Chains A and B, each alone.
Chain A
């Protein structure tokens, strides 16, 4: 069928990371998406981010819903377990997986139809629960697999390939994520790898609900004049508020920006985010200001990108539930079954 196996040969001089893995070890199967699809660039960015972070691929769990974007977890990190769930319901499955084993890294990959239409409710609730995950929406404003219907993130007034004008207001997932209490919120563009890779790295290292809205043009159905999700439109209207360098906990800090323009944020795991300000007034530690700034710029037709909000001391769902340190899926009979004696006491209380 559509599976084309990649050659297993590695270039002998391929660079290895601290774990001895090369970039190839983070790849998956050959993509079956259209040539030039923004989603493939995001997959490549995920591969690079995981490689640079020295993450053991098998300790990542990739989950997705249904749609073009949700197919992509098959195309990166083949040594990770992946789960292509049902349409719009990845967040609940990821939540359950996370509850079962808090020690894995959870990467949720979804699309705008999957997360903003059918799955808006689940998106909202996974975010507000603070599930420790990186949730990426590959946002192209269109249903690709069913050939070009508007999705809920299509902007009002945006034109479909067939020339139909969208009359419904677009859902801004970044604004929603901020309101719902996401502790890491970013927006990027599949065509800007330099911005996207550090954002993904920082999101993977973040403890709590991390969300990245990645605009990812659909070359087949939403890359025309009149679309607000085309390559050209996004390039013209992109306003990056900052540039990010992600320095893992153990690495020496090598990148230095001129004083005054750089903010350093230390995350829970000890990793340091070095934020180079592009918009002088933008402060990514203030949720309310972030919302106001985004709305003001959106009204002017600009697409604000970068690390938009971060709470480096965030807690997650396991903290709220006060679960034991051992992953729940490792607890055995002795940990879980109270035994006959406890039952006798319960029986005695029921007479």
Chain B
């Protein structure tokens, strides 16, 4: 074995950092690193220390670079921090870029089997070489074994370096390979190859994981999986979908949960899942099922929503319940299929030709993906229209630490205004598009309900309150006005925003500024608020959770001189919606935009807002 660089040089001098650092793994896609890296993250969680873990992956199955970032954060900052304290550089293709990304005074962990020239390293970074390939080649014969166990060996070495208890990882291996003792033993052996090497050859780093109790009963789960479970609890029975990153795992999770939770003892399914031929057919199936009284959804991403727009307009105008989970990715066009953005807001809100508007739910963590995933079906039935649940790649495809899922067993599915056989039989007047209750929501009937009453012809063409074709101007306008009333009604059903007022430590400080944010920007936003607070910038914050916007949001804007709107797209889409729907003076809303495809960071938000606020102070001082 050759170790080309002296391990643990004086460059590592500095205070010991406990439970607050970022480890980034640079790997080659398809090398089996994902499960080892995931186990590394989970072992820290099991030690009671919160982590934020993110996959940064290419649109590729094998060969291209992929990264996995683990933020160890006792303070519970679950957003992406930015910067890397320890780079686990396992991919020669990206070596230079990876090494450059390490914070000054940080660490570089690498496979030292093959010597590298000194020019490949940095003077201000401590290098830790472990001859992983040599160790694995000495122990294993099969190339695949050598590759896969190398991942476990480096996890073992990192455990030794960072003070992670190896028995925690052993337990995780036992859970992952439950019942396959040989596999467990082989993995535990590989783990200890890494641990033992470090013990014999290296000293622990000044980055350390120490047991604490900051995780509580929180769970670690992907937003897509949580949303799929929400769909199960929301009573969805029909799912039609077409594979597209980053939404595929939502349909797959729904399939898995249904198999477990919705299968009768005789093997019969209380659900139907169809992988359709495209997104158009997916939403068509959803609309057909919704028309016929089943709760149905599709999951997709921006390109899919583009294809679905004609049907979304039909759902709006013919008033048919549908749920679409849009797991947003980098657009436009094919865009950045494996990167994250919040860039479908306008596209979803106003999808389809003509005057249309659609409710959207904006979950901020997997717990809300579950809640809103279930709620969406009640809303779709109640409002008889398409309801969007807007996730994004960061939230959908990464495991997030979130509050455990909760359900009130007293809750039942709200099927909305459905006229029954008995009501029809009793002679209740049925007009499919009549506004009986003044809330803009008409009554509907399920096909086949009554032998002679309640049938009607559904169409996307203009019609009168009794569903008869009519292109008369007054009839059309009346109907379009009713649809607007219905949208007003929706405001009271959409989850209210959550307000978080500044801690006004300095009573003299004039709190004049606010910030509006939503979705996966939330943890970074909260961390940025703390950072700004520390700099003396006191901002009131409001997290928007759905569309149409309720009055509380407009009141918040009115109550502040200036409101920053933080979002992950180029064109300030939430801001545009606020301006458009609330007739707000655009000058009042200051966009803070992050759209390079990586998750927004607290550093970025605090930097952008801090800079503007500092400029304002200079201006005031003059």
Contact with B along A336-347 (1 / 0, CB 8 A): 111110110011
Write out the residue numbers on chain B whose beta carbons fall within 8 Å of the beta carbon of A63: 288
Contacts of A124 in B (CB 8 A): 277
Q: In the complex, how many angstroms separate the beta carbon of B372 from the nearest chain A beta carbon?
A: 16
Give the CA-CA distance A59 to B232 in the complex, in Å. Answer: 29
Interface readout for B193-230 with A: 1 if CB under 8 Å, 0 if not? 00000000000000000000000011111000000010
| Contact A89:B284 (CB < 8 A) given known A79-B452, A97-B289 | yes
Supposing A86-B311, A331-B237, A350-B219 touch, asked if A337 and B413 sit within 8 A by C-beta, the answer is yes
Contact partner of A56 among B277, B405, B451, CB < 8 A? B451
Known: A58-B449, A321-B272. A85 touches B404 (CB 8 A): no
Option from A59, A85, A121, A321 in Cβ contact (under 8 Å) with B277? A121
Q: A61-B447, A61-B448, A92-B276 are in contact. Are A323 and B281 (CB under 8 A)?
A: no
With a CB–CB cut-off of 8 A, which chain B residues contact A59? 448
**Distance of A16 Cα from B274 Cα, bound (Å):** 41
A160 vs chain B, min Cβ distance (A) = 28
- Chain B residues near A78: list those with CB within 8 A: 455
Flag whether A265 is at the interface (Cβ < 8 A).
no
B261 within 8 A of A: yes
A347 partner residues in chain B, CB cutoff 8 A = 217, 219, 404-405
Question: B292–A101 contact, CB under 8 A?
Answer: yes
Total of A-B residue pairs, C-beta within 8 Å: 235
Say whether B277 contacts A122, CB under 8 Å: yes
Cβ-based interface call for B285 (8 A): yes
Q: Once the chains bind, are B452 and A99 in contact (CB under 8 Å)? A: no
Closest residue of A by beta carbon distance from B314: A86
Say yes or no: is B408 at the interface (Cβ < 8 Å to chain A). Answer: yes
- Select B406's contact among A103, A317, A340, beta carbons within 8 Å: A340
Interface residue? B492 (CB, 8 A): no
Residue contact A322 to B269, C-beta cutoff 8 Å: yes
B276-313 interface code vs A (CB 8 A; 1 in, 0 out):
11101111111111111110100000000000001100
Q: How far is the CB of A56 from chain B (nearest CB, A)?
A: 6
Q: Which of B12-20, B132-140, B142-150, B458-466 contacts A (4 or more CB under 8 A)?
A: B458-466
B452→A81 contact, CB < 8 A: no
Contact A84 B232 (CB under 8 A): no
Contact mask B461-497 → A, CB, 8 Å, 1/0? 1000000111110000000000000000000000000
Nearest B residue to A95 via CB reads B285
**Cβ contact of A97, chosen from B229, B264, B292, B311, cutoff 8 A:** B292
> Shortest Cβ distance from A34 into chain B, in angstroms?
18
Nearest-CB residue, chain A, relative to B261 = A338
Q: Is the CB of B272 within 8 A of A323?
A: yes
- Give the residues from 254 to 282 in chain B that come closer than 8 angstroms, CB to CB, to chain A: 261-262, 264, 267-274, 276-278, 280-282
CB within 8 Å of B: which of A254-294? none
A324 contacts B270, CB within 8 Å? yes
Q: Mark A299-336, 1 if CB is under 8 A from B, else 0.
A: 00000000000000000011001111100110111011
* A75-113 vs B, Cβ < 8 Å mask (1 yes, 0 no): 000111111111001011111111111011000000000
Alpha-carbon distance A103/B220, docked complex (angstroms): 42
What's the Cα separation between A190 and B234 when bound, in Å?
47
> Which residues of chain B are within 8 angstroms of A86 by Cβ–Cβ distance?
284, 310-311, 314, 460
With A59-B448, A322-B269, A335-B270 known as contacts, the answer to whether A73 contacts B457 (CB < 8 A) is yes
Is B412 positioned at the interface, with any CB of A under 8 Å from its CB?
yes
Residue of B nearest to A56 (CB): B451
- A27 an interface residue at 8 Å Cβ cutoff? no
Is A121's CB under 8 angstroms from B270's CB?
no
Q: Is the Cβ of B469 less than 8 Å from the Cβ of A2?
A: yes
Cβ–Cβ contact A100 & B238, under 8 A: yes
Inter-chain contact B311/A321, CB cutoff 8 Å = no
Q: Does B83 belong to the interface (CB within 8 Å)?
A: no
A125 and B455 contacting across the interface, CB-CB below 8 Å: no
CB-based contact B219/A322 at 8 Å: no
Most buried by A among B404, B446, B455: B455
- CA separation between A125 and B472, bound complex, in Å? 38
Known: A92-B281, A96-B284. A85 touches B314 (CB 8 A): yes
A93-B407 contact in complex given A58-B450, A81-B455, A322-B267, C-beta closer than 8 Å: no
A337-B233 contact, Cβ under 8 Å, with A100-B238, A321-B272, A324-B268: yes
Partner of A96, one of B238, B411, B446: B238
Chain A residues closer than 8 Å to B45, beta-carbon distance: 351
Q: Given A99-B294, A322-B267, A339-B409, are A350 and B284 neighbors across the interface (CB < 8 Å)?
A: no
Contact at B293–A101, with CB atoms within 8 Å?
Answer: yes
B426 to chain A, nearest CB (A): 17
Instruction: Write the nearest CB–CB distance from A237 to chain B, whole angstroms.
Output: 34
Q: In the complex the two chains form, what is the Cα distance from A86 to B291 in whole Å?
A: 14
How far does the alpha carbon of A74 sit from the alpha carbon of B283 in the complex, in Å?
Answer: 24
For residue A1, CB closer than 8 A to chain B, the reply is yes
CB-based nearest B residue for A1: B470
Given contacts A322-B268, A333-B235, A350-B221, contact A340 B407 (CB under 8 A): yes
Q: Which residue of B lies closest to A28 (CB)?
A: B457
CB distance from B256 to the nearest CB of A (A): 11
Closest beta carbon of chain A to B251's beta carbon, Å:
14
Q: How far is the CA of A97 from the CA of B296 in the complex (A)?
A: 10
Residues of A within 8 A of B191 (CB): none
B232 and A338 within 8 A (CB): yes
B448 and A351 within 8 A (CB): no
Q: Is the CB of B277 within 8 A of A351?
A: no
Cβ contact within 8 Å between A351 and B220: yes
Q: Which residue of B lies closest to A25 (CB)?
A: B452
Chain A residues within 8 Å of B269, by CB: 321-324
CA gap between A151 and B122 in the complex, in Å: 69
Residues of A within 8 Å of B281, CB to CB, are 89, 91-92, 95, 121-122, 125
CA distance A272 to B218 in the complex (A): 62
Chain B positions 232 through 258: 1 when the CB is less than 8 Å from some CB of chain A, otherwise 0? 110101101000000000000000000
Q: Which chain B residue shows the least CB distance to A84? A: B459
B426-468 interface (Cβ within 8 A of A)? 445-452, 455-461, 468
Q: Is the CB of A81 within 8 A of B284?
A: no
Q: Contact at A1–B472, with CB atoms within 8 Å?
A: yes
Q: Is the CB of A337 within 8 A of B235?
A: yes
Are A121 and B278 closer than 8 Å at their CB atoms?
A: yes
20 pairs across A/B with beta carbons < 8 Å? A1-B469, A3-B468, A73-B457, A84-B460, A84-B461, A85-B288, A85-B460, A89-B311, A92-B281, A92-B284, A93-B284, A95-B288, A96-B284, A99-B272, A101-B293, A121-B277, A125-B277, A322-B269, A329-B294, A336-B235
Not counting A96-B291, A99-B237, A100-B237, a sample of 11 additional A-B residue pairs whose C-beta atoms are within 8 angstroms of each other reads A96-B238, A97-B292, A100-B289, A321-B273, A323-B271, A324-B264, A325-B268, A333-B411, A339-B407, A340-B406, A340-B409
Q: 7 closest A-B pairs (Cβ-Cβ)?
A: A96-B288, A92-B284, A100-B294, A81-B447, A329-B293, A96-B285, A100-B292
